[in-house]
Structure 1
Amino acid sequence: MNFRLHLFELEDQPWFPHVLRQGMLDFLRFMINRLHAYEAAIPLLASLLRKTNTIHFTDLGSGAGGGIESIQKALSRQVGQPVQVTLSDLYPNLAAYTYLKEKSGGKIDFIPASVNATSVPESITGVRTIFSSFHHFSPKQAKAILQDAAEKKQIIGVFEGASKSWLELLVLWFGFPIAIFFITPFIRPFRFSRLFFTYLVPLIPLGIIWDGTVSLFRIYTPAMLQQMVASIQVPGYTWQTGKVGNRFGKYVIYVIGYPDETMVQE
């Protein structure tokens, strides 16, 4: 699937009901955590933390915090000490962030104010990350996010849990409806609205299938990312792009950037 279509996602629309958006994001968070979808990206991020001598990263465009819980735990095991995470978003999901903060015992925290990923305030520190949401941005916005990190000499790691393949699309269309039907009662925190809009009025499953399809079409391939970073001319800043993972459901497309002077020998 070596093309990109920037179609609209329902969860991006301001008119889209919050209860449906929340139900869709809760399912995404549950699946990412249970499947450990970002397992292949953990060594990349751990290497960045070790090389920069830090145990903190700030996530941009966090949405409902999908996958961050399992990522934080796996990353902490990889580096041998608890990693601190700060969630942020242009429209912070405070209910989801508070839930994750309480569940993690404070290891996952959040910024309650709006944070624009294309222009992150200098006061926000830590390795910058974006998980599962980079495809939401247009090419102009995506480049601005990377440009902002490079110009401010900040480290950034962007990760998309997919291979962008036709097989993934088929699994989404024919496998996810079954998964949604059986998994929904086990998603926490429990919400009656999630049951209602899954089983009685199945708007959440329809939204998941639509947005999942659009997401696959929107994801930037490693070649697209390489072309994007090649146009960012910031001296002393290094970019790496690629895809890691060795089996279906475990592939991760990534772009990593860091200022050369911040790196120390491992």
Structure 2
Amino acid sequence: MKRFQLFEIEDQAWFPRRLRNYMTDFLRTVAEKFNLFEAVVPVLRDILAETGKKRIVDLASGGGGQWRTLLPQVQALMPDVRLTLTDLYPNTSAFEDLVEPSQGAVDYETRPISATSVPCELNGLRTMFLSMHHFRPSEAQAILENAVVHQAPIAVFEAQCRDFEHVIKFSMSPIFVLLLTPFIRPFSVLRLVFTYPIPIVPLVVGFDGVVSVLRTYSPEEMLQLAARADPSQKFLWTANTIKHRQQTILFLTGVPNRSTNSCHGPSILT
């Protein structure tokens, strides 16, 4: 299926922050309840071990939902790992929910942080979950270029493939919004209002979900972006597909290169 560079409503500057937060809260809840990214723990562990990094800098964090279950799993293997959450539109209330139970392992940036221009003081393994598809090819390339310039390892994860099966699945997401909203915390009367009598949240989640599928980069396309971002082959780039239970996760990883070969083709991990 051809990639389409469409727009997502959530990305628009005019879209109310409150509604954007309701959407990221929903995605956070899905990631928590279904433990979407359990299978990527070995990937993170291997990069942290190889590079000696003890800090994860999460870019375009949204609600940061995957980290509630993912960080303890990483820390079970590497107890000293710390996490910093960042976003161009920081959802600070959601970030605080992750900070409080973390015993000092999680912090966040209140200032807007662009994934294309990460401050040098935010040093660590850069991660992106469910967010690379938001960026145009030139912007996605800039994200990878910035990582290379700062010699920062990076791992990009998507939980959808660009195919008809995922278009159908994501078109059903408004139903899940209706079912899960009563369980989303913190409780908000306005969240209920904009979900049920005025169903802006489920409709926008459904629209943006389908657009997300159509905008998702394939492993081959991610490697092409990496090759353009790193023409001197300073990094080792790998694009993989992880199949875990009923979930397919695409990811791109890049680490400072220690050999002469810097680009590996996509592979399948099960």
**TM-score when scaled to structure 1?**
0.91
Give the corresponding residue for 2:2: 3
Give the corresponding residue for 2:58: 59
Give the corresponding residue for 1:234: 232
Sequence identity percentage:
37
Aligned residues: 258
Q: Deviations over 1:136-172 (max 9, x none)?
A: 1110000001011112211111111123332222122
- Pairs within 5 Å for 1:194-213: 194-213=191-210
The residue type equivalent to 1:186 in the other structure is F
- Pairs within 5 Å for 1:233-252: 233-248=231-246, 250-252=247-249
What secondary structure does 1:86 align onto? Answer: strand
Give the corresponding residue for 2:18: 19
Deviation at 1:222, TM superposition (A): 0.4
Candidates 137, 140, 157, aligned match of 2:138: 140
Contact 2:21–2:91, Cα closer than 8 Å, also in 1: no
| Whole-angstrom distance in 2 between the partners of 1:103 and 1:190 | 18
| Whole-angstrom distance in 2 between the partners of 1:122 and 1:80 | 24
RMSD over equivalenced CA pairs, Å: 1.7
Contact 1:37–1:251, Cα closer than 8 Å, also in 2: no
Give the corresponding residue for 1:37: 36
| Whole-angstrom distance in 1 between the partners of 2:14 and 2:106 | 29
| Whole-angstrom distance in 2 between the partners of 1:106 and 1:21 | 27
Q: 1:165 aligned to 2:131?
A: no
Give the corresponding residue for 1:97: 95
Deviation at 1:80, TM superposition (A): 4.4
| Whole-angstrom distance in 1 between the partners of 2:205 and 2:75 | 30
Q: Deviations over 1:195-216 (max 9, x none)?
A: 1111111111101100101111
Contact 2:57–2:86, Cα closer than 8 Å, also in 1: yes
| Whole-angstrom distance in 2 between the partners of 1:183 and 1:72 | 23
Contact 1:40–1:251, Cα closer than 8 Å, also in 2: no
Give the corresponding residue for 2:252: 255
| Whole-angstrom distance in 1 between the partners of 2:32 and 2:124 | 23
| Whole-angstrom distance in 2 between the partners of 1:89 and 1:161 | 19
The residue type equivalent to 1:156 in the other structure is I
Contact 1:19–1:193, Cα closer than 8 Å, also in 2: no
Contact 1:150–1:234, Cα closer than 8 Å, also in 2: no
Give the corresponding residue for 2:174: 177
Q: Deviations over 1:165-207 (max 9, x none)?
A: 3222212223x33322221111111111111111111111101
The residue type equivalent to 2:87 in the other structure is D
- Pairs within 5 Å for 1:214-225: 214-225=211-222
Deviation at 1:82, TM superposition (A): 5.0
| Whole-angstrom distance in 1 between the partners of 2:203 and 2:101 | 29
| Whole-angstrom distance in 2 between the partners of 1:169 and 1:201 | 25
For structure 2, list consecutive stretches of 5 or more residues without a partner in the other structure.
260-270
| Whole-angstrom distance in 1 between the partners of 2:176 and 2:245 | 19
Give the corresponding residue for 1:186: 183
Deviation at 1:225, TM superposition (A): 0.6
Q: Per the alignment, do residues 186 and 74 of structure 1 end up closer, same or farther by CA in structure 2, a change over 3 Å counting?
A: same
The residue type equivalent to 1:258 in the other structure is V
Deviation at 1:261, TM superposition (A): 5.0
Deviation at 1:122, TM superposition (A): 1.6
For structure 1, list consecutive stretches of 5 or more residues without a partner in the other structure.
none
Q: Deviations over 1:47-67 (max 9, x none)?
A: 111122233210111122231
The residue type equivalent to 1:224 in the other structure is E
Candidates 82, 85, 104, aligned match of 2:83: 85
Contact 2:171–2:207, Cα closer than 8 Å, also in 1: no
What secondary structure does 2:238 align onto? Answer: strand
Contact 2:83–2:106, Cα closer than 8 Å, also in 1: yes
**TM-score when scaled to structure 2?**
0.90
What secondary structure does 1:157 align onto? Answer: strand
Structure with larger RCO (C-alpha < 8 A, sep 6+): 1
